């Protein structure tokens, strides 16, 4: 479905923009482009939603981005937005924009399954805070996206319902655990999506699918209504086609929430206000530890080329050391598994969710329900978590991991005393073949080698495309900054993105 030249011309005259192509289909447009056209009333929300629903019907049989598709709801929401605009009401920038929501974020009246048999058919009676914020923006919800069960995985092959495929190569994984969210945007089945990031689960799939993925500062986006995996690490964030879109969506998500005791107020209210400020004089650190080990040659070359490009743009890049980086991944595995074992104890077959049918006593009910309701990866992490929290092992594992967490935070703070940002790869490799790492439980953890420090420290981190490998698959680079430096991350990412578009 395309938009005719007259509509495009009208929108450009109203918005003062000239970067919307007249031949571009609705589903290939960015959020910013769609927003300008909708605000100019050159297209309607119903047109936009119908275009996306058509794309979903065409591509879902191959991609499997969604667990639940909410076509009827989406059309009703779109009709409401069009009526408000027709009545002359000024609406927010995201009004009428179709979005997909990761299926561990509670949506009132819409199933929230966490891609698990344990929650199959569960319909929350309330909305997560981020859903209330999107509703205030009049965002259109087209569905709930597939994921690794309870967000535990790096490939979206751990879903109880289906395996999501990478739209850029259907034989490859889209990453995880937010693989459905990344695949939906990459396949043009949503203008943007929400994912969650516990150790890299927004940034790694964004890297694998050639998108922009943002993990905000811990606490700046409310976790109320997010089904918890590891509460001290989890964060909700957007996956988008470009940097400006990411900033627009994050604008709508931030804010202190009385329903989440860990939420905090962000000093910035508009991440787009200084997004075109450039990087001249910006100080960027390149940890040498990020460029060693199992890093592929293609990824290393792409990231190093990006650092050279930043220098051409006026930034200062310097190699530094993160001596405790090698301990970050083991510490993450211990901490996240410990918190997961505690959080998932609530799924016992009594209060809600799956319940085993044949049992003789309450102990057998618990055992059979959890054995039948949880998948292999979830059970593996619960067992590990119970092990490290046991009386005999607590000091040797969990306490030690928390001490390592403190060391990593100190290392990062030392770097941020001298530098504005840290640049690194997102993942050691690009997207690999389906089933390549099935049956090798430790290997997928390596995908998070470069991403977990940001979760451990609670700092913001963003993935942005920086090239392609020899097979034509996207490579992502990661920009990380000190707490509440999202505006700086967006400014640096936008400068790189726009200069590469311009061929400079």
**Which residues participate in catalysis according to the annotation?**
102, 177, 201
Contact 151, 200 (CB under 8 A): no
Strand order in the sheet with 474-481: 66-69, 140-145, 98-102, 192-197, 235-240, 212-215, 461-468, 474-481, 421-425, 283-287, 316-320
| Residue 425 C-beta-side C-alpha neighbours within 13 Å | 30
Give how far the C-alpha of residue 82 lies from the chain's centroid of Cα atoms, to the nearest Å: 29
Query: What are 421's strand-pairing partners?
Result: 284, 481
Q: Identify the CA nearest to 477 among candidates 422, 432, 405.
A: 422
Q: Distance (Å, rounded) from C-alpha 68 to C-alpha 104? A: 12
153 near 176, Cβ under 8 Å?
Answer: yes
Helix, strand, coil percentages (3-state) for the chain, rounded to 5, are 45, 15, 40
**435/29 Cα distance (integer angstroms):** 32
> Measured between alpha carbons, how far is 123 from 113 in angstroms, rounded to an integer?
8
- What is the SS3 string spanning 28-43? HCCHHHHHHHHHCCCC
Q: Where are the beta strands (DSSP E) in 136-292?
A: 140-145, 192-197, 212-215, 235-240, 283-287
Q: How deeply is 402 buried, as exposed, middle or buried, from its count of CB atoms within 10 A (0-12, 13-18, 19+)? A: middle
Whole-number Å distance between alpha carbons of 282 and 419 = 8
**Strand 192-197 relative to strand 235-240, pairing:** antiparallel
Q: What are the two backbone dihedrals, phi and then psi, of residue 442, each rounded to the nearest 5 degrees?
A: -85, -30
Q: What Å distances lie between residue 229 and 73, 119, 187, 226, 237, CA to CA? A: 28, 14, 27, 9, 15
């Amino acid at each position: 479905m395309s938009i005719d030249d007259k509509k495009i011309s009208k929108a450009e005259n109203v918005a003062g923009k000239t970067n919307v192509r007249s031949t571009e289909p609705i589903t290939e447009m960015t959020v910013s482009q769609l927003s300008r056209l909708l605000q100019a009333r050159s297209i309607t929300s119903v047109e936009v939603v119908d275009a996306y629903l058509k794309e979903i019907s065409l591509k879902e049989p191959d991609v499997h981005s969604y667990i639940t598709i909410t076509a009827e709801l989406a059309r009703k929401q779109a009709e409401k937005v069009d009526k408000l605009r027709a009545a002359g009401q000024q609406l927010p920038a995201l009004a009428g924009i179709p979005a997909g929501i990761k299926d561990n974020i509670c949506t009132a009246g819409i199933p929230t399954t966490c891609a698990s048999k344990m929650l199959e058919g569960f319909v929350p009676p309330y909305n997560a805070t981020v859903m209330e914020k999107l509703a205030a923006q009049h965002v259109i919800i087209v569905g709930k996206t597939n994921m690794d069960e309870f967000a535990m995985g790096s490939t979206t092959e751990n879903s109880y319902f289906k395996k999501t495929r990478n739209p850029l190569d259907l034989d490859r994984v889209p990453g995880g655990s937010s693989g459905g969210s990344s695949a939906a945007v990459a396949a043009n089945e949503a203008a943007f999506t929400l994912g969650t990031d516990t150790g890299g689960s927004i940034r790694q799939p964004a890297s694998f699918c050639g998108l922009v993925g943002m993990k905000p500062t811990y606490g700046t986006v409310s976790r109320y209504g997010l089904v918890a995996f590891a509460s001290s690490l989890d964060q909700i964030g957007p996956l988008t086609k470009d940097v400006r879109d990411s900033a627009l969506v994050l604008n709508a998500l931030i804010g202190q929430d009385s329903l989440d005791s860990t939420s905090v107020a962000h000093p910035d209210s508009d991440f787009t206000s200084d997004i075109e400020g450039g990087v001249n004089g910006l100080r960027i650190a390149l940890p040498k530890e990020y460029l060693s080990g199992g890093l592929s040659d293609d990824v290393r070359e792409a990231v190093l080329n990006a650092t050279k490009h930043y220098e051409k743009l006026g930034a200062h890049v310097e190699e530094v050391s993160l001596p405790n980086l090698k301990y970050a991944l083991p510490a993450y595995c211990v901490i996240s598994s410990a918190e997961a074992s505690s959080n998932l104890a609530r799924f016992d077959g009594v209060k809600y969710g799956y319940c085993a049918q044949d049992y003789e006593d309450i102990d057998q009910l618990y055992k059979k329900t959890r054995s039948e309701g949880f998948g292999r990866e979830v059970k593996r992490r619960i067992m590990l978590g119970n092990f490290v929290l046991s009386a005999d092992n607590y000091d040797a594992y969990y306490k030690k991991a928390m001490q390592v967490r403190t060391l990593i935070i100190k290392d990062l703070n030392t770097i941020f005393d001298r530098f504005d940002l840290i640049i690194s790869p997102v993942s050691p490799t690009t997207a690999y073949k389906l089933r390549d790492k099935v049956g090798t439980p430790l290997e997928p953890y390596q995908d998070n080698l470069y991403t977990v420090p940001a979760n451990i420290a609670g700092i913001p981190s963003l993935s942005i495309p920086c090239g392609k490998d020899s097979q034509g698959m996207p490579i992502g680079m990661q920009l990380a900054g000190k707490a509440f430096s999202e505006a700086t991350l967006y400014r640096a990412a936008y400068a790189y993105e726009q200069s590469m578009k311009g061929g400079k």
